[in-house]
Amino acid sequence: MAADIGRDYDVIVLGAGPIGQNVADRARAAGLHVAVVERELVGGECSYWACVPSKALLRPVIAVSDARRVDGAREAVSGSISSAGVFGRRDRYVSDWDDSGQADWVRGIGATLIRGHGRLAGPRRVAVSTPGGEQPVLTARHAVVVCTGSRPALPDLPGITEAKPWTNREATGSSYVPERLAVVGAGGVGVEMATAWQGLGSQVTLLARGSGLLPRMEPFVGELIARGLAESGVDVRLGASVRGLRRAEGGRAVLELGDGSELAVSEVLFATGRAPLTDDIGLETVGLTPGSWFDVDDTCRVRAIEDGWLYGAGDVNHRALLTHQGKYQGRIAGAAIGARAAGQPLDTSPWGVHATTADHYAVPQAFFTDPEAAAVGLTARQAEDAGHQIRTVDVEIGDVVMGAKLYADGYAGRARMVVDADRGHLLGVTLVGPGVTEMLHSATIAVAGQVPVHRLWHAVPCFPTVSELWLRLLEAYRDAADDN
C-alpha cells in the first residue's frame, strides 16, 4: 500500500463521481480527514458515459436545428453534420477518458484518493481490493458514504446476452455511426440518444412501451417531443414492446416485437431504467441486502443502520436519479457529517444546509431533445394526487411571447404553471420548446422558494427575451382567476 495511504479516517467515501467529490469537499471543509475510494475513473458515470458526453453529442445537432429555424440562417446550413468533428468534441470533453485532472482535484482538496474496489467489511470498516493486489482495511471514525451510483437495468429477454445491446455507455462512447439504430425506452436517455444519433446520420427507430414519451412529465411534453423526433426522421412507435432479439448473419440485430413483427438494425440501445450499483459493496456485512436501494433520511443517513454511521447519496438512494440532485445530496451529507462530528445541532444553520428538502418538492430536470424539455416540482396530476387544491395555466409560447418569435421562426412550445390555490405559490412548472432548459433555474427558484404569485409580478422579464413567458403565465393565471 502506498506510503501516503493510511488506515484510519474520519470519513470514507465509496465512489469518486460528482456526488462523492461533493461529499469529500464538504467534509474536508469541516476539517475532517477523508479517503475517497474509486474502482473506475475519477469523475464517475456522469463525466465519461452520461451527462457530459451525451450533451457534447447533442449540442451540434441542436445548434444546426436551431439555425434551420431562422430565415437567413438556414440558407447557411448545408450538408450533413460531421460525425468525426462531433466525436472529437465529445472526446475533448471527456478528456479522452483520462481522469488525471479529476484525480488531481480530489487530492487538491486534501482528500486521500485510493484506487480500487471498496467493500464494507462490517460497521465503519471498508476493505479495498487495489490494482496492485493489496487488501487494506480502512476504518471510519464518523461515517462511510456510499456514492457508487447505478447501472443500466436490462430486461430479461431471450437472446439479450448474445445480442450484446448498447447501454448508455456505448451510446455515448461510440465513434461510428450505425446505419440503423433501435432505441428501446422512452425516458430521458432514450429520447436524448434518439435525437443525437438521428442527427448524426443513423436511421433511428424509437420503441416506447407506453402511450407516450417521458411519461413522468406533463403529457404534452411527450407529444411535442414525439412530433419533433418524427419531423427529424425518427420512426417513433408507441405501445411497442420487445419480446426477444438475436444477432443475424452480418452482425445485424433482429428484434422480435410484441405484435409479431421483426425489426432489423445495426445496433440496439436499451434505455430501460437503472438499478443500484450496490450488489458487490459488502452490504451483507452490515445487515443490508446486496443490490438494494438505500432508504435514507434528509441528511442521506441510512435509516436501517444503528449509530447512524452509514450514508447513501446520489442514485443509490433512489430519490432522484439526476447528477445535479445527487451533488446537492452530497453537499448536504458532507455538511451534516461535519456538523455531527463537531457536536453541532443540525437545525441551527442559517443557510439550511443540513436537509435535502428539495428532494421532496423542487427537483429540476432537463432533457436536451429537439424541442428541449424542462420541469421542476410537481405535475398537475402529482399535485392533485398529493392532496393539493391547484390551478393550472398553459401558454403556447410561440403564440404570445415576442422573444420566442425572434428566437425561432414558427417557434413551437408550451409552458404550464401549477399553483397551490390555497397558499398562492407555485408547485410546479413545465416547459417544452427550443432553448427552454436555460429558463429552468428561474422556475426552480420560484418553486424552491415558494414565492407567492403576487410577488412574481415584480420580477420583471427583459424584453424581448423568451423569459417574457413568465409575464404571459401570470396574465393567464390572473385571467383564469377573474373568470371564476
Binding residues for FAD: 55, 118, 148-150, 315
| CB-based burial label for 21 (10 Å; 0-12, 13-18, 19+) | buried
- Give the other-Cβ count within 10 Å of 173's Cβ: 17
SS3 477: helix
Q: Taking phi first (over 0 means left), then psi (-120 to 50 degrees means alpha), and beta for anything else, what does residue 234 get? A: beta
Three-class DSSP category at 159: coil
Give the amino acid at 108.
Answer: G
Q: Which residues contact 395 (CB under 8 A, 6 or more apart)?
A: 401, 414, 415, 416, 469, 472, 473, 476
Known binding-site residues equal: 55, 118, 148-150, 185-192, 273, 315
Q: For residue 14, what are the β-bridge partners? A: 37, 146
Known binding residues for NAD(+): 185-192, 273
DSSP designation for 461: P
How far from the centroid of its chain's Cα atoms is residue 345's Cα? 32
Q: What is the dihedral of CA 289, 295, 301, 304, to 10 degrees?
A: -50
Of 187, 153, 192, whose CA–CA distance to 172 is shortest? 192
Q: Which residues contact 373 (CB under 8 A, 6 or more apart)?
A: 214, 217, 221, 224, 225, 366, 367, 430, 431, 432, 436, 437
